[in-house]
Structure 1
Amino acid sequence: MNLRTDRLLRAFYRTARAGAERLSDGGGPFGFDVHTALQIDYLIQTYACDGIVESGTHYGDTTEYLARMYPDLPIRTCEINTEYAAVAAYRLHHRPTVAVHVGDSAVLLPGMLEGLKCPLVYLDAHWEARWPLISELRTVTHGVIAVDDFDIRHPRFGCDRYDSVVCGPDLIRKTLPDVRVIHVGSPLAAYPLPCLQVGRRSGTGYVVRGLARGPIEASPMFARVQLRPRLVMPSWGASEPEPSVAFTGAPR
């Protein structure tokens, strides 16, 4: 294990899972999926991201991890639920690089992106009355976008669905007509750390906007998804779902 991976491991597993009672995955950074953390870290390093923007703070599990792992980067996060935002703001008040905003991410996102030349934008604002994802995607014109709860068409990984619309490649295809290729986190890569999440895991979709696709295509942690002229998903072979346990918290 190299020093970077060791640092990530310590930051990830030292972050409290404050959302354990209310999230179906038991809370934790990135739904307690360290493979997503490894994917995000690769992208932040390789694209030299100069800030992190997050929509959907909840209790700040992912935000706190990001502040631990990237203490020199500005981290801007927003949450529409005032109770969740208050908990996260209190939890993170000693982190000078973190700003917790309260309100609709679709409205706040343009301001949160100001001054950043290459942001890592993590979109996880789900399960409120209005789904902001489409507006969020159209707002980010430059940087690396990571979409949580994304349909990667693998039996072990869940995704979100709103009014019969699936959070997945077809949504990106319809929302961003100029994007021909996206990527998803690969379950088949040889990660340097095992994932200890035995409950709900969700896929992550990645959209590189205004940047070269070379770096993301160079890593086996990501699988290519062709959107045009027709949708072509990765073939995961005969992968079987891993054993899982059910959580009784609210859906995520």
Structure 2
Amino acid sequence: MNLTEFLTQAVYDAIDPQDNPVTLNFTLPDIDGNFVTDAESLWYAHRYAVTETNYIDSNLMNALLAQHSLAAFFEWEKGNLTSPFADACIAFTNAVKQPSNFNFNSATINGAANVNILQAMIDYYGTLGSGAVTELNTTYDVITTRLTAFRNLVTVIGVKTSYPLANSTLVQVMHARNRMTYSTPTISGRFAVIEQNATTDSYDPILWGYNPRTLQWQSINVFRNVDAIGMYEAIIPSECSGWSLRVDNPFNSHTENA
């Protein structure tokens, strides 16, 4: 989902400043009774999270089994024909011994099945308490503790979260919401010049030209790293000479010349 799609949804789930899940609608007041501002929209966009499966390969899986002292347990369990998990352990240990990818993302069908099997094993061995597993020189409650720690870790590793809109800017948000304000630059030879009259966050305002052939505004250049009070310039492409010009002015920080 790109920024425009995110911001133009009629209703979407986001996080309010108190970190409580809320449903927002840009045409309605937010939880504070105020309309959602562009700055708030940017705040929500930066926190828009996408989760996807992070597959665990055989090499890492072997390391995790060793870390939790479970490799010998799964080998033993696959030969324990009285266990309800013998077949699952056979499939698992065979997969671990060859190049494989393991899914523990509960939001997917395969991942949920794998997590459910682990949970069922934890529940089952938990009922056996401190009974001895003589072949492994341990007890079932120790196995349960190890399986629980293993389950907790693989379900964390098995999901990766990204924030695709984390680098969005206020300028991009205002364009996406059709709420950009503009100033008219001064033309000095081949250059368009703006005067920044206040210190703001750094931004790259777009220089727009009105194309008389298409009757549309189009981006023709960009002012770079505008933030401090002062003058900034951008070249007007020769093919845009004589066009009407305007510049993004998201902070209303440009001095308009009379």
TM-score normalized with structure 1 length: 0.20
TM-score normalized with structure 2 length: 0.19
Relative to its length, the structure with more helix (as a share) is 2
Q: Which has the higher contact order (CA 8 A, sep 6+)?
A: 1
Bigger Cα Rg: 2
